[in-house]
């Protein structure tokens, strides 16, 4: 993907970014066509935010973001490219609860099993964040939501894919779920192949991504604390990352600070790392009112945990209390 920082001078890039966010259709169209801008370009490599995602993030504040969205999609914008948090443009459409926007994007090869924040697929995210709220606001809205869910199921939505919290669309509870369960039954009889999700996220900066994946798979349970030290360390750092990046520390409390201190003290106890660096890195993760949103610190802790696992591959069990 092309980085717009390499294409436009700083002042022009700033103006272009603002116009995209505001949905200034003519101005954005002119820049794209006169400068021959790739519509799947990102504003910076670190965040990986596409032109389309930026347009959707300003939807509530803009002038004509719907027209600009359709223009971008018609010209090849991919609604499934994920930013560094895992959110795609289609995820942002779902979070907006704007059915007209979601209905529009359903016509552009959207992915229904792609995971983002909290490990929710786009199908599960729509069910949880959009349907569960709008279904209570009248039969017309409920019917529109059901049509969208049915289209997603027809595309191969997998209702059994678990989120990071062990939940899935099949077990999700909502008082307005009878019609959804009927759809599940209908499509299970049809045996439609499940859509395979692609990974369109920016490359990880982790040194040991495979090791971290192995620890997560072997030692991090779907619910509750891990029995092992490395499993609990990895669970703790990812819980802190999720709370900051997904929720802006809105639910941060003493438990989260305790997790940060557990990571600090446990890693120091191994005497494998510079104690000052550990303490410096953990400090920003202990502030409730200043959520740390970048990945660098979280990734460094993941790599340290991986190094502990590499040195001590046999499970070291812990007291869950």
Mapping DSSP onto H, E and C, the string for the chain reads: CCEHHHCCCHHHHHHHHHHHHHCCHHHHHHHHHHCCCCCCCECCCCCCCEHHHHHHHCCCCCCCHHHHHHHHHHCCCCCCCECCCCCEHHHHHHHHCCHHHHHHHCCCCCCCCCECHHHCEHHHHHHHHHHHHHCCCCHHHHHHHHHHHHHHHHCCCCCCCCCCCCCCCCCCCCCCCHHHHHHHHHHHHHCCCCCCCCCCCCCCCCCCHHHHHHHHHHHCCCCCCCCEHHHHHHHHHHHHHHHHHHHCCCCCCHHHHHHHHHHHHHHHHCCCCCHHHHHHHHHHHHCCCCCCCCCHHHHHHHHHHHHHHHHCCCCCECCCC
> Is the pLDDT assigned to residue 202 strictly greater than 80?
no
Task: Reply yes or no on whether the pLDDT at 59 is more than 70.
Answer: yes
pLDDT at 83: 82
Q: In the prediction, which pLDDT does 320 show?
A: 59
Q: Write the pLDDT tens digit of every residue in 269-297.
A: 999 999 999 999 999 999 999 888 878 89
**pLDDT at position 125, please?**
93
Cβ-Cβ contacts under 8 Å for 16 (sequence gap 6 or more):
4, 8, 28, 31
18-45 mean pLDDT: 88
User: Which tens digit of pLDDT belongs to each residue from 139-185?
Assistant: 999 999 999 999 999 999 999 998 888 889 998 887 788 899 999 99
What phi and psi, each to the nearest 5 degrees, are found at residue 82?
A: -100, 145
- pLDDT, one tens digit per residue, over 207-228 is 888 899 899 889 988 778 899 9
| pLDDT for res 200 | 56
pLDDT at residue 43 above 90? no
Q: What is the average pLDDT across 30-58?
A: 85
In this predicted structure, the answer to whether residue 69 has a pLDDT above a threshold of 90 is yes
pLDDT in tens, 242-263: 888 777 888 899 999 999 999 9
The stretch 117-138 carries a mean pLDDT of: 89
Tell me the pLDDT tens digit for each residue of 294-312. Answer: 788 999 999 999 999 999 9
pLDDT for 261 equals 96
Counted residue by residue, the chain has a size of 321
Over 90: is that where the pLDDT of 41 sits?
no
**Average pLDDT, rounded, for the chain:** 88
Q: Is the pLDDT of residue 231 over 90?
A: yes
Q: How confident is the model at residue 201 (pLDDT cuts 50, 70, 90)?
A: low
The reported pLDDT for the residue numbered 307 is 96
């Amino acid at each position: 993907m092309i980085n717009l920082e390499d294409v436009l001078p700083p002042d022009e890039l700033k103006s272009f970014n603002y116009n995209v966010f505001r949905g200034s259709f003519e101005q954005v169209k002119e820049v794209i066509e006169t400068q021959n801008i790739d519509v799947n370009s990102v504003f910076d490599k670190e965040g990986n935010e596409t032109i389309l995602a930026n347009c959707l993030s300003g939807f509530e504040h803009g002038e004509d973001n719907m027209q600009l969205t359709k223009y971008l999609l018609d010209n090849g914008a991919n609604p499934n490219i994920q930013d560094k948090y895992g959110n795609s443009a289609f995820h942002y459409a779902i979070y907006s609860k704007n059915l007209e926007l979601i209905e529009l994007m359903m016509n552009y090869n959207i992915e229904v099993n792609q995971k983002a924040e909290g490990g929710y697929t786009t199908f599960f995210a729509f069910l949880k964040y959009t349907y569960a709220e709008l279904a209570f606001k009248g039969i017309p809205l409920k019917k529109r939501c059901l049509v969208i869910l049915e289209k997603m199921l027809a595309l191969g939505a997998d209702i059994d894919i678990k989120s990071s919290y062990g939940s899935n669309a099949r077990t999700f509870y909502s008082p307005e779920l009878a019609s959804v369960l009927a759809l599940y039954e209908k499509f299970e009889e049809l045996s439609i192949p499940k859509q395979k999700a692609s990974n369109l996220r920016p490359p990880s900066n982790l040194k040991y991504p495979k090791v971290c994946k192995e620890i997560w798979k072997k030692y991090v349970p779907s619910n509750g604390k891990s029995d092992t030290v490395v499993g609990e360390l990895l669970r703790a750092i990812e819980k802190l990352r999720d709370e900051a990046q997904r929720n802006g520390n809105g639910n941060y409390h003493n438990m989260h600070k305790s997790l940060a201190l557990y990571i600090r003290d446990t890693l120091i106890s191994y005497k494998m790392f510079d104690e000052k660096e550990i303490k410096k890195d953990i400090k920003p993760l202990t502030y409730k009112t200043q959520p740390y949103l970048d990945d660098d610190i979280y990734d460094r802790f993941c790599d340290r945990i991986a190094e502990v696992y590499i040195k001590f591959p046999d499970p070291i069990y812990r007291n869950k209390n």
